[in-house]
Amino acid sequence: ALFVLGSFVVACSATVARLPRAGESLEAQAFLVEPGGKGLNLAVGARRLGAAVDGLLAIGDDALAALAGPALDRAGLPAAMLHGFPGPTGAGIGFTDAAGENCLAVHPGANARLGPAEVGRVADRIARADLVLAQFEVGDAAIAETFRIARAAGVRTLLNPSPFRMPGQEIRASKILAATTILVVNAVEAAAFAAALGLDSPEGRTEPDAFGALAEALLACGPALVVVTVGAGGALAFQAGHPALVQPAFPVAAVDTLGAGDAFTAGLAVGLAEGRPLAESLRLAAACGACVVCRKGVFDALPDRDAVAALLA
């Protein structure tokens, strides 16, 4: 099974002709409210691909919290994944323009309250997993404790440091990175890591050479595998002592890039947890990312195995 430590965020998104400027009010062509958050997206994405999924997601006690139970139920995820705190549920608001570009702001709410105590209560479930996943919509202490438990039990860990923040004061001394087996970063996160490590920015580039020095530095921090996703430019995978693997993006007409990284990460995690070779898992991941960008929203756009197979064929 996969264990997802992550966020539950109710995502509100408006479809607009172009992104609004400061002080401007635009008419939206569509408005969508859907349960999301990187944690839920990863869990749903992996479950839809057929994986058994467990995890820990925090919700508040407000009106938005009531969306969580039915969403998990609809996705075939166990209700035991939810942990309730008093106060607001995580919520986000975003815009997607005609070109499929997006921007958003997220209030963490209950997600910020998950800590080592809540993680400790599900330690046996973490230790039983094949792969444990975390993103940065929950706090460092919860992630560090989850990864500590996983690694002590010999379970692989996958970190998607999104939205980006420094994993500890000094990257090279980060406990979280030291306990990470697989690190998945997008172009923004790669540029942030490069800046923090004093390396040339890979911004705007997609070829393996642009990320070689960065990947080498990140591999030295703990991960055995570093995957960089560069949107329509595809994905690159780096392992110490191996040539970079290049996974091109599937050529599709993108309508909404929201959730591409989450879908990709879910696909990669499922492939690796199923024991598939890295190259095959990357192809599965890229197909998941491509499926999501072809549809508006994330929750309903995350593909099942048939949708992925159609693209892979």
Q: Which residues are annotated as a binding site for K(+)?
A: 256, 258, 292, 295, 297
Q: How far apart are CA 117 and CA 279, in angstroms?
A: 37
String of contacts with ligand ADP for each residue 165-204, x by CB under 6 A: ---------------------x------------------
| Residue 16 vs residues 97, 102, 106, 164: alpha-carbon distances, Å | 5, 10, 19, 26
Closest CB 286 distance from ligand ADP, rounded Å:
4
Using the rule CB under 6 A, is 249 a contact of ligand ADP?
yes
Taking a C-beta distance cutoff of 8 angstroms, is the pair 277, 290 a contact? no
Neighbours of 15 (CB within 10 A): 18
Candidate segments 35-43, 126-134, 210-218, 250-258, binder of ligand ADP by CB under 6 A:
250-258
Q: 262 an active-site residue?
A: yes
Candidate list 97, 140, 200, 262, residue with the active-site label: 262
Using the rule CB under 6 A, is 225 a contact of ligand ADP?
no
- Annotated binding-site ranges: 37-41, 137, 186, 229-234, 256, 258, 261-262, 292, 295, 297
Using the rule CB under 6 A, is 289 a contact of ligand ADP?
yes
Using the rule CB under 6 A, is 9 a contact of ligand ADP?
no
Taking a C-beta distance cutoff of 8 angstroms, is the pair 101, 257 a contact? yes
Which parts of this chain interact with ligand ADP (CB under 6 A)?
Answer: 186, 229-232, 234-235, 249-250, 252, 254, 257, 260-261, 264, 286, 289-290, 293
User: Among all residues, which ones are annotated catalytic?
Assistant: 262
